[in-house]
């Protein structure tokens, strides 16, 4: 599949938030250069790097994370196909965290000079890219809110979020989707130990809300899960309006 076919996923995410003219879409496509592939476990960017391209995730899953000197890792974000994984490096310049591949994944490069030129030529499109980073920020806030709630709520909330975000990409079918995240990694994202994650998953399974086996999530009771997680998708801003 050609890279710019997959770019459509990103475009559709933009178009869920505002109209994007054909000219803008073309300018965006023209902005991409080559693509690259990484095996599971590889780092796409590392803390301290000064990338000269931003990467759009075409296929696979990635995390943003920070390692502590004591060996623990905190995952601060999970990215799904169609997300920009490090658009912020365009302006932040020096990475303050790393981006790692959860699965084999493919990315499309957007050289920074071209992106800068894009913001000059297409201010509206620039605002939409800005918006996408603002939504990332909103997700961070939501994780902060969730962080001080009991483990079952946290896990349920993350499942709700990923389900909702993946629904947009067409990856979900029949309330089932693949998520290449181990229980250890889930713990790193939520600030829980792998042991406790395991017990929490068992509990939620027993409640009949969803199953999570062999990296395959099956949501059995969406409304119940939403309630369990106090999930309110407004923070994802899946609303189309002039920006």
Please state the closest distance from residue 95 (CB atom) to DNA, in A: 24
Q: For residues 116 and 49, give the distance between their C-alpha atoms in angstroms, rounded to a whole number.
A: 19
Q: In 3-state terms, what secondary structure has residue 84?
A: strand
Give the DSSP letter of residue 71.
S
* Residue 151 makes contact with DNA by CB under 7 A: yes
* Residue 68 makes contact with DNA by CB under 7 A: no
Q: In 3-state terms, what secondary structure has residue 183?
A: helix
Q: For residues 155 and 135, give the distance between their C-alpha atoms in angstroms, rounded to a whole number.
A: 20
Q: For residues 155 and 18, give the distance between their C-alpha atoms in angstroms, rounded to a whole number.
A: 31
* Residue 202 makes contact with DNA by CB under 7 A: yes
Cβ nearer to a second copy, comparing 124 with 199: 124
Cβ nearer to DNA, comparing 134 with 195: 195
Please state the closest distance from residue 146 (CB atom) to DNA, in A: 11
Please state the closest distance from residue 123 (CB atom) to a second copy, in A: 4
* Residue 192 makes contact with DNA by CB under 7 A: yes
Please state the closest distance from residue 32 (CB atom) to a second copy, in A: 20
Q: How big is the CA angle at 200 (ends 204 and 227), to the nearest 5 degrees?
A: 40
Q: For residues 110 and 85, give the distance between their C-alpha atoms in angstroms, rounded to a whole number.
A: 11
Which of 49-57, 60-68, 107-115, 185-193 is the region at the interface with DNA (rule: CB under 7 A)?
185-193
Give the DSSP letter of residue 102.
S
Binding site for DNA (CB under 7 A): 150-152, 182-184, 187, 191-196, 198-202, 213, 215
């Amino acid at each position: 599949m050609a890279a710019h076919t997959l770019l459509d996923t990103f475009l559709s995410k933009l178009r869920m938030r505002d109209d994007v003219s054909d000219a803008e879409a073309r300018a965006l496509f023209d902005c991409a250069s080559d693509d690259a592939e990484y095996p599971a476990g590889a780092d796409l960017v590392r803390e301290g790097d000064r990338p000269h391209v931003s990467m759009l995730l075409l296929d696979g899953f990635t995390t943003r994370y920070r390692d502590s000197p004591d060996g623990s890792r905190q995952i601060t974000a999970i990215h799904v196909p169609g997300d920009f994984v490090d658009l912020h490096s365009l302006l932040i310049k020096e990475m303050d965290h790393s981006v790692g591949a959860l699965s084999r994944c493919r990315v499309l490069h957007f050289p920074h000079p071209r992106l800068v030129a894009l913001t000059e030529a297409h201010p509206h499109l620039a605002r939409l890219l800005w918006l996408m980073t603002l939504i990332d920020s909103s997700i961070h806030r939501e994780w902060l809110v969730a962080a001080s709630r009991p483990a079952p709520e946290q896990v349920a909330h993350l499942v709700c979020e990923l389900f909702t975000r993946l629904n947009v990409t067409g990856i979900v079918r029949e309330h089932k989707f693949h998520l290449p995240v181990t229980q250890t990694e889930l713990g790193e994202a939520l600030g829980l130990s792998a042991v406790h994650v395991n017990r929490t998953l068992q509990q939620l399974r027993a409640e009949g809300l969803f199953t999570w086996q062999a990296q395959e999530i099956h949501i059995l009771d969406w409304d119940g899960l939403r309630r369990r997680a106090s999930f309110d998708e407004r923070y994802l801003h899946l609303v189309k309006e002039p920006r």
